[in-house]
Amino acid sequence: MKKSGWYLLTLLIALILNFLLPRMIEGNPVSTIATQVSQGMTDSDSIKKVYDNFMKEFGVDKPIIVQFGIHLKNLFTGDLGTSFGLYPRQVSSILASAVPWTIGLQLPAILVGWILGNVLGAVAAYRKGVFDRALFPIVLFVNSIPFFTLAIIMLYLFGITLKWFQMSGGYDYQMVPHMSLDFFLSVIRHHTLPFLSIVLVTIGGQAIGMREMSIYELNADYVLYSKLLGIRDSRVARYVFKNAMLPQITGLALSIGTMVGGSLICDHRLQLSGHWNMAVYRDPSA
C-alpha cells in the first residue's frame, strides 16, 4: 500500500511538471498562430477577435487550475488536443503517423544489438585469452559513448567526409511515402547511420553484461561438478548461456519499454521522421 502511494505521488508530480513546464517557456504559440491566420487584416478589432477565439479554442484563457483539470480529463480520455506547431492537426493523428517511424528504427536496432552483444559477451567469457582481452576494451569504450554522440561522429565521417550515407531525413525529400522498392531503399539509406549507432552502443552494453554473468556462471558449483562428471563442454556451455541470459532478457524488456521515449536526440539531430522530431517543433514560438 505504501509503495502504491509513492507510485501515485510520482505520477502526480510528473503530470504537474508535464503541465507546467511548457507554460513556463518563453513565447506565446497562440499569438503566433493568430498572427499567421490574421495576415492581411488591417482592422485591429478583427485581429483581436481572431486572437481571442484561439485563446478560447486552446483553453488558455481560463484560470491555471481549471486548465490543469481540463488537461487531466483530456489526458485520461485520450484527447491530446490540437497541435500548436501543426495547427489544425490533432496531436493524436501526428503521433499515429510518427511513432511507427521511431519503432521501425529503434526495435530492430535494439534486437540486433542485443543478440550480437550477448553472443560476443558469452564467447569472450568462455574462450577467454586473446579474444577476451581484445574485445573487452573495445566494447567498454563503445558502451561509454552515448548513441547520439556516436551518431554525430558517424554522420561527420560517413555522411559529410566520405558521403556514403544520407545525412538527414527519413527518406528522400522529393518522395511521397508509398509501397515501392525505391521508397524502401531510400528509407534504408537514410536510417543506416542512426541504426548503426544504436546497434554499436547496444552491443557494448550487452556484451559487458553477458560477459560478467557468464564468468559468474562458469565459476558456479554446478559447472565444476559437471566437469568432474565428464559432461561435454558444449552441453555445459548451453547451461551457462541459458542461466546468464536471464538478466539480459530483463534488460531487453526494459530497453523495448523505453525505446519510444529514448529517441529524442537521435530523431532531432538526424532530422528523422520519428515522434520526437515532431515534438521538438510542436511550438512555433520556440
Boundary-marking domain end, from 29, 55, 82: 82
pLDDT in tens, the chain (286 residues): 678 888 889 988 998 998 888 888 777 777 777 777 777 676 777 778 878 888 888 878 888 898 888 888 888 888 887 777 777 778 888 777 777 888 888 889 889 999 999 998 888 888 887 887 888 888 888 878 776 777 778 878 887 888 787 776 677 777 777 787 888 888 888 888 888 888 888 888 888 889 889 888 888 888 888 888 888 888 888 888 888 888 899 888 888 877 766 555 555 545 555 444 444 444 444 3
Shared domain check, 190 and 123: yes
Do 20 and 72 fall within a single domain? Answer: yes
**The three cell numbers locating residue 148:** 547520439
Beta strand residue intervals within the chain, DSSP E: none
User: Does 194 lie in the same domain as 57?
Assistant: no
Q: Are residues 57 and 99 in the same domain?
A: no
First to last CA, the chain: 42
pLDDT at residue number 13: 92
Is residue 285 one of the residues assigned to a domain?
A: no
Residue 282 confidence (pLDDT): 47
Residues 132 and 271 reside in one and the same domain: yes
Residues 119 and 224 in one domain: yes
Domain C-terminal end among 30, 53, 82: 82
Structural domain contains residue 228: yes
Phi-psi region of 178 (alpha: psi -120 to 50; beta: other; left: phi over 0): beta
Judge contact between 46 and 39, C-beta under 8 A. no
164 assigned to some structural domain: yes
Helix (H) or strand (E) holding 131: helix 129-143
Q: Is 87 a domain residue? A: no
Do residues 208 and 136 share a domain?
yes
Q: Report the pLDDT value the prediction gives residue 267, as an integer from 0 to 100.
A: 55
pLDDT of 29: 77
Task: Verify that 135 and 256 share a domain, yes or no.
Answer: yes
Q: How many domains does the chain have?
A: 2
Q: What is the pLDDT of residue 280?
A: 43
Q: Let me know if residue 276 belongs to a domain.
A: yes
- Report the distance separating Cα 144 and Cα 42, nearest Å: 58
| Same domain for 14 and 102 | no
Residues 6 or more apart in contact with residue 10 via CB below 8 angstroms:
none
145 within a domain of the structure (yes/no): yes
Residue 283 confidence (pLDDT): 45
For residue 127, the model assigns a pLDDT of 80
Q: CA torsion, points 165, 167, 169, 172, in degrees to nearest 10?
A: -50
CATH number of domain containing 201: 1.10.3720.10
pTM of the model: 0.71
Task: Check residue 263 and give its pLDDT.
Answer: 57
Residue 210 within a domain: yes
102 lies in the same domain as 180:
yes
Domain hosting 39: range is: 2-82
Which of 28, 62, 82 is a domain's end point? 82
98 & 118 share domain: yes
Q: Are residues 63 and 27 in the same domain?
A: yes
154 domain residue, yes or no: yes
Q: 190 and 166 in contact (C-beta within 8 Å)?
A: yes
Task: Confirm if 204 and 117 have CB atoms less than 8 A apart.
Answer: yes
